[in-house]
Amino acid sequence: MKSPKELSSKLCRQWEYADNRENRLLDQNNAWPVVLSIGSPSANMILNQLDDVKQHVEQWRKVKVGHVVWEPKNYRATAVAVDIPTQWIINDANEWIDAANNQSVRNEYDTLAFFTAQTDCMFHSLLIRNRSLWRKKDKNQVVQATRLAMTLEPGYADGKPLRLLPTQGIDTKFFERHTQLVTALLDVRYDGEVSKIGLETFLGALTNSDHWLLVMDLDNTLLPFQKQRVRSSELRTIGLPCDRLLIVENESCQHQIPLLPHTIAVLGTGFDLGWTDGHWLQHKQVGYWGDIDTWGLHLLATARNKIKHLDALLMTNDIYNRYVSMAVPEPVTAGSQIPNGLNENEQLLYSRLLKTLNGRLEQEFLPEPVIRDAILAWGKRQFVTIRDLYHQ
């Protein structure tokens, strides 16, 4: 037999599990009711511990939260059936918190109720599951961070330090105090990319630290090493000794890229594309290869807005149609507005992906022969710079 106090403690412990909090606070239709088994006294207890059983029954008669299920039980030691509490049914989140009867749980529940009322629904799961992000913070500051996260985009800082961003109501120390929280919130919007490269790099802010990109010599004679790490800030000002540069969104594709004369590849760029406004890139043949999803096309547009002559590789409707069986859902899209920088066919593909259930075809899942042929074909294209035309 379980007493009300024991089951209250159990409900309190259940609050500590992120899955329980998320399911019961967000999935009202499927998470409730929660049924807790109380148990019934044995015949031996009725015979030898009748006072304890009476006390147990009386404790449950005093419970006013939820619904206690009573069932008549027949015992040899009693002349008539005895009503015994067998289940405690908790019908919703409010009853759960009341039944847990714990002030700490109550305080956290009230805070989460405040967050869900004041913040965009896309952040609710994060805040419910990850209490460490806000436990020691002023709840109004947390709400302010969520509103800030809704306004921030790749390159938003435009080279300025984070503390100098012109954001209403945000003081110069806000990012310093809430870096982890803002990063986690932006990860929700940008599918985990922000934590991969760092908040400052994502926002294009002036920073003492730097994101390191993988540079591969596809010629095998252009660099001292076949692979090396280079800080993205250095790539902005220091040109690479090649005629062609291939920009690749994900580093995981490095083993699928063929050798190509006069060519260097920069991999794992993701949202870190601020360096592509380096002047030296205007005199190179530049290709871009990324995922076929709304974010991949968004990044393609970002790069092309900096490098007008940039070629997109393997990011077409045809490629998507051929390998759609390997496509998966895109957890968070880049938004309904088509980004500037896409050509007409890419715009149509972007619109299609927004309406498609499986709108993400990750680049590393393409067959290696297809990747090889596309990159080698790109390498055979004739590229003429404005400088070349001037000297003709």
Long-range contacts of 116-121 (CB under 8 A, 24+ apart): 116/25, 118/143, 118/146, 119/143, 119/146, 119/147, 120/146, 120/150
| Sign of the four-CA dihedral 11, 17, 19, 25 | positive
pLDDT at 172: 78
Collect the ranges in the chain with pLDDT lower than 70.
79, 168, 207-209, 383-392
Which residues make Cβ contacts (< 8 Å) with residue 341, sequence separation at least 6?
A: 300, 301, 302, 303, 304, 305
Do 305 and 341 touch, CB atoms closer than 8 A?
yes
Give the chain's radius of gyration (CA, Å).
30
Which residues make Cβ contacts (< 8 Å) with residue 263, sequence separation at least 6?
A: 218, 219, 242, 243, 244, 245, 246, 379
Rounded CA-CA distance 353/241 in Å is 37
Measuring CA to CA, which residue among 92, 139, 141, 133 is closest to residue 111?
139
Measuring CA to CA, which residue among 285, 286, 242, 248 is closest to residue 264?
242
The pLDDT tens digits of the residues spanning 234-283 come to: 999 999 999 999 999 999 999 999 999 999 999 999 989 989 999 999 99
pLDDT at 163: 83
pLDDT at 123: 98
The pLDDT tens digits of the residues spanning 76-106 come to: 777 688 899 999 999 999 999 999 999 999 9
Rounded to two decimals, the pTM is 0.75
pLDDT at 166: 72
Is the bond leading into 329 cis (omega within 30 degrees of zero)? no
pLDDT at 388: 52
Measuring CA to CA, which residue among 141, 156, 69, 88 is closest to residue 111?
141
- Where along the chain do its domains lie? 4-105, 119-203, 212-391
